Amino acid sequence: MNECYYDRRMDFFYNRTKTDTADEWTGPQLIGVLCFGTFFCLFIFISNSLVIAAVVKNKRFHFPFYYLLANLAAADFFAGIAYVFLMFNTGPVSKTLTVNRWFLRQGLLDTSLTASLVNLLVIAVERHMSIMRMKIHSNLTKKRVTFLIISIWAIAIFMGAVPTLGWNCLCDINVCSSLAPIYSRSYLVFWSVLNLVVFFIMVVVYIRIYMYVQRKTNVLSSHTSGSISRRRTPVKLMKTVMTVLGAFVVCWTPGLVVLLLDGLNCTNCGIQNVKRWFLLLALLNSVMNPIIYSYKDDEMWATMKRMICCSSEDKSQERRSSRIPSTVLCRSTDISGHYIEDGIIQGTICGKGDLGDKGNS
């Protein structure tokens, strides 16, 4: 029977992987990581708090898409907390950690990153369902959205706790990974491949949305005079989709590939030299999400500016705009362009009905 090492400090496992954490985290590298990390965390806390507050405050955001957007902001906020905990429990301190504390450190990171990833997938599926049914918002009820949000966090917490529950190498140190000294290499392969598959599914969903919208735009354009807004809509959509996909590819793929290589026991890949930078790159996605999914929405940005400024003029303007009939707020001289830009890309709320109802209003 194999011997288990639950009572060992982390220095035992780090020494086995020949990782000198004290030398790696000194000098300019340590200063750079801490500076970037501190900036990222501050921005994550502030920006995602504003997104959540805007969704709660503005009744125009009380729809499934924005509930999921607020949950994404909550996941990114949690990522900031996980990274703060990491900064105080890394470098030379890593070797002094107990096994349970190290599991907590990594579990927080895995939970936060998984929650962001799964939430992004759910948002993509929600947008896909809405667009294919030619509706601005999906038919998801509040109960179903609540169930989805609970499920997202249940999956994230489970994935973060799997190594603690037993899928580790504490009783078989010969299968320990290099980047995560008490994680089993098989778990790293499983976790990285699973996330890459989810990433691929999300890419397919967004490509399908883009192709469908482009096809519908071409059909509508052939039966209309072809305004400037309609001609520019496919370009705007392509830029937005490419921004979303490009940010995700840049921020996630390198780290997942490194984890996969470590799980496959690639000893000549130099993964120890890039691990901390790829972690920062993955966390950068939590910084970019509020910009990509929220600040491109004029209504969201205006709501956050009003909360920041807190001026009486803005408050009175908000009260006046709330009394404007919905038919005026949602006027659609160019239905196709308005639907594609606001309903698909930004998800701007202009009504509760589908496109056909909107055109007949």
- Determine the length of the chain: 361
Look at residue 153 and tell me whether its pLDDT is greater than 90: yes
Residue 352's pLDDT is what? 38
Mind listing the pLDDT tens digit for each residue in 158-170?
A: 999 999 998 998 9
Percent of the chain scored above 70 by pLDDT?
71
Residue 137's pLDDT is what? 58
Least confident of 38-47, 176-185, 222-231, 328-337: 328-337
Residue 296's pLDDT is what? 67
Secondary structure of the chain as H, E, C letters: CCCCCCCCCHHHHHHHCCCCHHHHCCHHHHHHHHHHHHHHHHHHHHHHHHHHHHHHHCHHHCCHHHHHHHHHHHHHHHHHHHHHHHHCCCHHHHHHCCHHHHHHHHHHHHHHHHHHHHHHHHHHHHHHHHHHCCECCCCCCHHHHHHHHHHHHHHHHHHHHHHHHCCECCCCHHHECCCCCCEEHHHHHHHHHHHHHHHHHHHHHHHHHHHHHHHHHHHHHHCCCCCHHHHHHHHHHHHHHHHHHHHHHHHHHHHHHHHHHHHCCCCCCCHHHCHHHHHHHHHHHHHHHHHHHHHCCHHHHHHHHHHHHCCHHHHHHHHHHHCCCHHHHCCCCCHHHHHHHHHHHHCCCCCCCEHHHHHHC
Q: Which of 285, 301, 308 is nearest to 72 (CA)?
A: 285
Tell me the two tokens of residue 57. 């405050």
Hey, what domains does the chain have and what are their CATH numbers? Answer: 10-16+23-221+231-309 (1.20.1070.10)
Look at residue 15 and tell me whether its pLDDT is greater than 60: yes
| Apex 73 CA angle, 316 and 298, nearest 5 | 40
Mind listing the pLDDT tens digit for each residue in 75-111?
A: 989 988 998 898 888 777 888 899 999 999 999 988 9
Residue 123's pLDDT is what? 80
What band does 136 get if pLDDT is binned at 50, 70 and 90?
Answer: low
Mind listing the pLDDT tens digit for each residue in 180-196?
A: 889 999 999 998 999 88
Average pLDDT score over residue span 136-155? 84
Which of the listed ranges 68-82, 283-297, 309-323 does the model predict with the highest average pLDDT? 68-82
Percent of the chain scored above 90 by pLDDT?
13
What band does 40 get if pLDDT is binned at 50, 70 and 90?
Answer: confident
Average pLDDT of the chain is: 74
Least confident of 29-33, 94-98, 202-206, 250-254: 29-33
Average pLDDT score over residue span 301-323? 63
Average pLDDT score over residue span 54-79? 87
More confident position, 139 or 323: 139
Look at residue 23 and tell me whether its pLDDT is greater than 90: no
Look at residue 341 and tell me whether its pLDDT is greater than 90: no
> How many CB atoms lie under 10 A from the CB of residue 85?
15
Average pLDDT score over residue span 39-62? 87
Please give the Cα distance from 208 to 241 (Å, whole number): 11
